């Protein structure tokens, strides 16, 4: 029995449910890519799968649309895989548990993958239809968008005929996205010094768990003032250190660099008879944070537990850091910038430059911090990255920049934009809002592969993407699908 069988548009939700059965975290897209190729084969469509597992599917124009400009429909097949701490699902091996509540679709205990599964579902429904009128369709479904747009960077578009691209990777109905920030990844690595002195070995190991934060997308929701769990933990430990000179064994969160961390865990070694004082210090910090983030993140929780035996057996936890190395870790985390660095001078309320500490990892010899950087101004992006590099190196760490992608610049003349403005007005009797966004979209990279590419991005209403609270508006899915079909059906510019 299909969970979504009573939802409209039925064909769109059929394919959304089908792809939700297939695990598709970034860098593990072979299964979903193979599914797309099987779909193309069964529908007698021309298709190509490259070495990265990007898929391009071609459907020729319907009768009467042979002379219309081909349209490139584009989205990505990977998703951010996040779950609540009590969820035991292995998102690399198991599909999603879909839940319908009123107008919203979400997944039990995990992210939904509406970003960007809804684009894939729209595209498959259109390709499978015998009634939709359209020009030649060139459907480009990329991999690894969520971890640096590797698919868009590597895909070969040289055989496409179209110069008009409709990207379906936005999250707000009624908005027509026409430009976005550029971005990239920054990795900071700090060597660790561990010691096995009798004093260190006599310390009590405990787990410090920061959890119940809102989290969110580090581009779209960076302006909502939400707390970062890694920074909350580091600041709490600094406050506690003044009373209890502990040692760090490890800090990890298993997050995503483009998601604001919702939780983080540290293994700490405490001096004898100091547990009560340590807990009291963390409790005071928790209450201070709850007061500071009373609206943006009211449920910040810092808990201390006995360290499980299986955790203590891990290689990185067999010996504690030295006092100097413990201080170096906390100094590095708190000294590096995080969050919004500058608002736009050109667009009111728009973030220009930001960075997000998304992942923290510890092994036996090093601490690694992973950041997502974004800016709509190239010089500001470079200055931000260099600032991080100088601070990190001054504290004994090394920095690597990778996965950088260009900003998608606003195009003064865009027949597609004007057409979509007109069609939206006719269909819904109101104006669509033309916007820019701080989050990254693949259009910037794709524009570098197709000369004079005319591109826009749209999507239905989605909320809290990249978190287990992610939900998709069912009614908005239908309205947005109707809009896409009407744009394809409307001839000319």
DSSP percent split of the chain into helix, strand, coil, nearest 5:
30, 30, 40
Helix axes 229-241, 275-292, angle to 10 degrees: 130
Question: How far is the CA of 257 from the CAs of 83, 185, 462, 470, in angstroms?
Answer: 15, 8, 20, 17
| Cβ–Cβ under 8 Å, residues 311 and 267 | yes
Q: Please tell me what DSSP assigns to residue 172.
A: -
d(CA 229, CA 70): 46
Q: Please tell me what DSSP assigns to residue 34.
A: H
Nearest alpha-carbon partner for 457 in 447, 469, 449, 465: 447
| Cβ–Cβ under 8 Å, residues 259 and 215 | yes
Cis peptide before 116 (omega within 30 of 0): yes
d(CA 160, CA 142): 15
Say if residue 349 is exposed, middle or buried (CB neighbours under 10 Å; 0-12, 13-18, 19+).
Answer: exposed
Q: What is the SS3 assignment for 197?
A: coil
Q: Which two tokens stand for residue 155?
A: 């895909």
Angle of CA points 118, 76, 161, to nearest 5°: 105
Nearest alpha-carbon partner for 356 in 253, 211, 240, 207: 253
| Cβ–Cβ under 8 Å, residues 130 and 35 | no
**DSSP codes, 138-150:** EEEEES-GGGT-H
Length of the chain: 493
Q: In DSSP terms, which residues pair with 356 in a beta bridge?
A: 372
Which positions are catalytic? 78, 145
Residue 94 neighbours by CB under 8 Å, 6+ apart: 23
Q: Which two tokens stand for residue 200?
A: 């260190």
């Amino acid at each position: 029995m299909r969970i979504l069988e009573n939802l409209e548009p039925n064909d769109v939700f059929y394919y959304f449910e089908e792809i939700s059965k297939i695990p598709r975290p970034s860098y593990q897209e072979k299964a979903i890519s193979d599914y797309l190729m099987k779909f193309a084969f069964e529908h007698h469509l021309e298709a190509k799968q490259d070495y990265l597992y990007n898929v391009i599917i071609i459907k020729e124009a319907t009768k009467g649309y042979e002379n219309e400009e081909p349209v490139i429909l584009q989205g990505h097949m990977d998703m951010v895989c996040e779950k609540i701490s009590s969820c035991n699902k292995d998102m690399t091996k198991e599909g999603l548990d879909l839940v319908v509540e009123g107008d919203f679709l979400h997944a039990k205990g995990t992210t939904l993958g509406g970003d960007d599964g809804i684009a894939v579902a729209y595209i498959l429904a259109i390709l499978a239809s015998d009634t939709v009128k359209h020009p030649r369709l060139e459907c480009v479904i990329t991999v690894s968008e969520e971890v640096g747009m590797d698919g868009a960077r590597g895909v070969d578009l040289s055989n496409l005929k179209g110069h008009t691209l409709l990207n379906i990777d936005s999250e707000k109905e009624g908005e027509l996205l026409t430009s976005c920030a550029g971005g990239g990844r920054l990795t900071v690595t700090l060597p660790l010094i561990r010691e096995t002195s009798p004093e260190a070995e006599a310390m009590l190991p405990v787990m410090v768990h920061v959890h119940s934060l809102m989290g969110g997308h580090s581009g779209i929701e960076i302006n909502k003032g939400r707390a970062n769990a890694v920074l909350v933990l580091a600041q709490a430990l600094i406050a506690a250190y003044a009373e209890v000179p502990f040692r760090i064994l490890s800090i990890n969160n298993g997050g995503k660099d483009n998601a604001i961390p919702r939780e983080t865990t540290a293994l700490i070694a405490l001096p004898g008879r100091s547990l009560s004082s340590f807990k009291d210090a963390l409790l005071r910090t928790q209450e201070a944070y709850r007061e500071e983030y009373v609206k943006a993140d009211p449920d910040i929780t810092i808990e201390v537990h006995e360290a499980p035996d299986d955790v203590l057996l891990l290689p990185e936890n067999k010996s504690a850091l030295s006092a100097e190395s413990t201080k170096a870790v906390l100094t590095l985390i708190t000294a590096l910038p995080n969050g919004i660095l500058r608002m736009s001078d050109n667009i009111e309320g728009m973030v220009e430059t930001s960075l997000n500490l998304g992942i923290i990892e510890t092994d036996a010899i090093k601490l690694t911090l992973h950041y997502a950087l974004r800016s709509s101004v190239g010089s500001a992006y470079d200055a931000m990255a260099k600032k991080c590099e100088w601070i990190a190196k001054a504290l004994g760490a090394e920095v690597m920049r990778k996965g950088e992608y260009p900003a998608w610049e606003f195009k003064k003349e865009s027949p597609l934009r004007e057409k979509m403005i007109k069609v939206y007005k006719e269909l819904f009797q109101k104006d669509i809002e033309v916007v820019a966004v701080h989050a990254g979209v693949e259009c910037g990279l794709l524009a570098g592969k197709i000369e004079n590419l005319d591109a826009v991005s749209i999507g239905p209403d989605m909320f809290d993407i990249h978190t287990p609270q992610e939900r998709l508006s069912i009614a908005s899915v239908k309205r947005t699908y109707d809009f896409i079909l009407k744009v394809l059906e409307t001839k000319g510019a």
